[in-house]
Structure 1
Amino acid sequence: MTVAVEHIATDQPPDDAKARDVDYGWQSGNRLELLENGEAYFPRVFEAMRDAQREILLETFILFEDKVGHELKGILIEAAQRGVKVVASLDGFGCGELSPAFLGELAEAGVLVQMFDPASKMLGIRTNWFRRLHRKIVVVDATVAFIGGINFSADHLGDFGPEAKQDYAVRVTGPAVADLHHFALAQSGRQVRTRRGWRRRQQRPSLWTTANEEGLVRLIYRDNVQHRDDIEEAYIHALSKAQKRVVIANAYFFPGYRLLREIRNAARRGVHVQLIMQGQPDVLLAKLAARMLYDYLLKDGVVIHEYCQRPLHGKVALVDDEWSTVGSSNLDPLSLSLNLEANVLIRDRAFNQQLYERLELLAHEHCRTMPENRKPRLWLWRLTVGFLVFHVMRHFPVLTGWLPAHKPRLKPFESQAHDL
């Protein structure tokens, strides 16, 4: 049996470029539900998929063949068999271990499987490390959408054990779903229509809004073409406006000078700034890199917590009593300079307060707090190593730019025949 799988070897395809190069504005009147970890996320997203009548659009960095992956596969197959259009866009690195049989069952049922930038292994090692499709988005029937940092894998469930990830997503219903649907449809290579509210780059709407409304949502994203720094700029802008409190919970924290400066400046002018970092990392280098920045931030009053119960995988933040963001983007060179990412900006007091309460509970019950006047041993050695690591990491995207670039096109691919 021949299984049709589209391989996307691109950051942004040129066809239908106007539909892709879009700035989405603020949408009011949305209903928002914070979903913490797989225990909250999977039941809600699977329920929406089971109820789908017309369409399921899914993007994910990781899909494993575990109990979560098999449940997802069954739901997508059942939906496709009852006539729902199902498009699954998977990353070629994060989903690189999926078996031909697993993908074949999806395709045979009518699911359109798309693999972003796949590559063959070299000496048993995957080589397609950079410029990943790191987004996690699900849109069902253009009426409900999910976005955040949670992949479709069992390691987002508490019963996975000590390595289970701590993470967040948001369920959105209301006018902003039209933007998420338009975006997911365009990125998957499907034909889309534009409307007056979707603006080209030169008419960019503000990353900030002072509108006195609840349920305001704006979709932002980064690509490697026209929207390279939108997520970073949103953080910088929000931090510059902060007056009362800032809480950032981010798994991989190693931002650039401008973002670090705004964090420090907010603390200097009296804003209570808290950072929640990995204390039990799934990637040790991430913890070491973040710690290189601690002294710079602590001396100006930034409070730093390390979450020690299990690996932190979240990518969320809040400013004052209204502004929040949830999405796939870490604050490190990979997410801010290379990967394809998507976040939502939210201005809603109830959502902000709920997120604040969950993060406060995390910080005070499951974290250790770094002392303000800590004096690490071998400080001169740490200073030297920190300086070198910081500058290597900050120039890392430029170094990877010397590698061969992806060609900007959709590349249909027919996989080899598989006997199912």
Structure 2
Amino acid sequence: MSAPWVAGNQVELLINGEQYYPRVFEAIARAREEILLETFIIYDDKVGQQLRQALVDAAKRGVRVEVAVDGYGTADLPPEFLASMTDAGVRFHSFDPQPRLVGMRTNLFRRLHRKIVVVDGELAFIGGINYSADHLGDFGPMAKQDYAVQVSGPVVAQVHASSQRMMAAVLEAPGQVKPVLTSSGTAQACLVERDNGRHRTDIEAQYLKAFRQAQRRIVVANAYFFPGYRLLRELRNAARRGVEVTLILQGQPDMRWVRALSRLLYNYLLRDDVRIREYCQRPLHGKVALVDDEWSTVGSSNLDPLSLSLNLEANLLIRDRAFNQHLYEHLSELAEQHCKVVTLERMIRGYWWRAPLIFMGFHITRYFPRIAGWFPAHRQRLHSLHAEPETRGDLHEGQT
């Protein structure tokens, strides 16, 4: 079960790095006691360097700074980049770092894919945006389209507790920060996680529940769309009962094989009037959805086997009409102005040679959760860089 819904929250949608990074860096600059930060990727570019400086400055003024990155996603940070943080007092942890084998990265599955920041137990950020320049428009045609939320209010306590649990094994002490529980807005919210313990299917379950209860509209904007059979069935069933179902998927992919897999499922959905739009302005990296006039979610979880069955993920669920409407208007603009319409007639062309692939793709989605159970399930294994300074080089090699 996910955490309970709590009222009295203020939730603000942040679109792309242009809105996200200034808010996060400002919050870090104002931190008084504690910063907890989790991310899949930090690059040694202008965004990563700005993050590093903000964290170093916070640590130097006495703020407790805990950073957890993924050992696969955070690739090849220079030793001086890491040393400048740990020497200043930033505690830097890597999730499941593994050495390369014949130059190849071996830790492919069960990644720390969450993107969370909690400052002083008062303010939290949750979404899909990493710390890299490719989330900014000036990166060029391959700049990513992505989302996060800034949230204050009682739900921050859930985010804070989740991040503390993530880092529990490497924390020298639990910390003395007590999350602020006072109301700051009108939104209901709750944190929903996917882990390798008691919450293996919580995010998928929340999507299924929302789709089953939908009465008027469903809009999903998701970068890597290859969900399990149950989610596909609920989308189709919703369209059959008259719900307007719109999927905004990658049309300018950062990984072409991802779009190829998604397209194997198009026929199944289009036959029941699910509307599919491929976003072509830039690579879509978002993981957002809304149902009817109130329910929304923003987070790190894609609707694919890695996110739904293997990775560690975190999404915020939101019940708020104003937030839902704002997200709906934004996604509608994307669909109308920057997407191409995918029709059943178009997808039927060449169906004869794609039919076997479609059959295989459909059944892979149906049985993948069971197959995923064959992979070894490790828990939150963080390795602290600062704990044994003499091993910095080995730990750095594991961060690929």
**TM over 0.5, shorter chain:** yes
What residue in structure 2 maps to residue 416 of structure 1?
390
The structural deviation recorded for 1:367 is 0.2
What residue in structure 2 maps to residue 244 of structure 1?
216
Tell me if the contact between 1:221 and 1:231 (Cα under 8 Å) persists in the aligned partners: yes
Distance 1:384 1:42, change over 3 A: same
Show CA shifts across 1:120-148 (max 9, x none). Answer: 11121111110000000000011110000
What residue in structure 2 maps to residue 161 of structure 1?
140
**Distance in 1 between residues matched to 2:135 and 2:365, nearest whole Å:** 28
Uncovered stretches (5+) of structure 1, i.e. residues with no partner = 1-21, 196-212
Q: 1:90 aligns with which of 69, 77, 98?
A: 69
What residue in structure 2 maps to residue 144 of structure 1?
123
What residue in structure 1 maps to residue 78 of structure 2?
99
**Distance in 1 between residues matched to 2:303 and 2:381, nearest whole Å:** 28
The structural deviation recorded for 1:391 is 3.1
What residue in structure 2 maps to residue 174 of structure 1?
153
**Distance in 1 between residues matched to 2:379 and 2:159, nearest whole Å:** 25
Identity over aligned pairs, percent: 59
The structural deviation recorded for 1:372 is 3.9
**Distance in 2 between residues matched to 1:302 and 1:404, nearest whole Å:** 36
What residue in structure 2 maps to residue 59 of structure 1?
38
What residue in structure 1 maps to residue 278 of structure 2?
306
Show CA shifts across 1:217-257 (max 9, x none). Answer: 01000001110100000000001111111100000001111
The structural deviation recorded for 1:376 is 3.0
1:380 counterpart = 2:348: no
Q: 2:325 aligns with which of 343, 353, 362?
A: 353
The structural deviation recorded for 1:399 is 4.6
Distance 1:248 1:53, change over 3 A: same
What residue in structure 2 maps to residue 13 of structure 1?
none
Q: Which amino acid aligns with 1:338?
A: L
What residue in structure 1 maps to residue 19 of structure 2?
40
Tell me if the contact between 2:35 and 2:119 (Cα under 8 Å) persists in the aligned partners: yes
Distance 1:408 1:106, change over 3 A: closer
The structural deviation recorded for 1:407 is 6.2
What residue in structure 2 maps to residue 322 of structure 1?
294
The structural deviation recorded for 1:418 is 6.4
What residue in structure 1 maps to residue 250 of structure 2?
278
1:76 counterpart = 2:50: no
1:259 counterpart = 2:238: no
| Secondary structure at the counterpart of residue 369 of structure 1 | strand
Q: How many aligned residue pairs are there?
A: 382
What residue in structure 2 maps to residue 203 of structure 1?
none
**Distance in 1 between residues matched to 2:107 and 2:26, nearest whole Å:** 34
**Distance in 2 between residues matched to 1:111 and 1:307, nearest whole Å:** 39
The Cα RMSD (Å) is 2.2
The range that moved more, 394-403 or 55-64, is 394-403
**Distance in 2 between residues matched to 1:375 and 1:278, nearest whole Å:** 16
Tell me if the contact between 1:299 and 1:373 (Cα under 8 Å) persists in the aligned partners: no
TM-score if structure 1 supplies the norm length? 0.87
Tell me if the contact between 1:182 and 1:192 (Cα under 8 Å) persists in the aligned partners: no
Q: Which amino acid aligns with 2:52?
A: K
Q: Which amino acid aligns with 2:211?
A: L
TM-score if structure 2 supplies the norm length? 0.91
Tell me if the contact between 2:223 and 2:287 (Cα under 8 Å) persists in the aligned partners: yes
Tell me if the contact between 1:315 and 1:328 (Cα under 8 Å) persists in the aligned partners: yes
The structural deviation recorded for 1:183 is 1.1
**Distance in 2 between residues matched to 1:304 and 1:24, nearest whole Å:** 32
The structural deviation recorded for 1:290 is 0.7
Distance 1:121 1:418, change over 3 A: closer
Q: Which amino acid aligns with 2:125?
A: F
Uncovered stretches (5+) of structure 2, i.e. residues with no partner = 179-184, 394-400
Tell me if the contact between 2:193 and 2:315 (Cα under 8 Å) persists in the aligned partners: yes
Q: Which amino acid aligns with 1:132?
A: R
What residue in structure 1 maps to residue 192 of structure 2?
220
Tell me if the contact between 2:196 and 2:377 (Cα under 8 Å) persists in the aligned partners: no
Tell me if the contact between 1:322 and 1:349 (Cα under 8 Å) persists in the aligned partners: yes
The structural deviation recorded for 1:406 is 2.9
| Secondary structure at the counterpart of residue 89 of structure 1 | strand
Distance 1:318 1:375, change over 3 A: closer
Q: 2:264 aligns with which of 269, 292, 313?
A: 292
Q: Which amino acid aligns with 1:248?
A: V
| Secondary structure at the counterpart of residue 114 of structure 2 | coil
Show CA shifts across 1:167-189 (max 9, x none). Answer: 00000011111111111112111
| Secondary structure at the counterpart of residue 296 of structure 2 | strand
Distance 1:371 1:75, change over 3 A: same
Q: Which amino acid aligns with 1:150?
A: I
Distance 1:242 1:401, change over 3 A: closer
Tell me if the contact between 1:249 and 1:317 (Cα under 8 Å) persists in the aligned partners: yes
The structural deviation recorded for 1:98 is 1.2
Distance 1:392 1:264, change over 3 A: closer
Tell me if the contact between 2:11 and 2:187 (Cα under 8 Å) persists in the aligned partners: yes
What residue in structure 1 maps to residue 7 of structure 2?
28
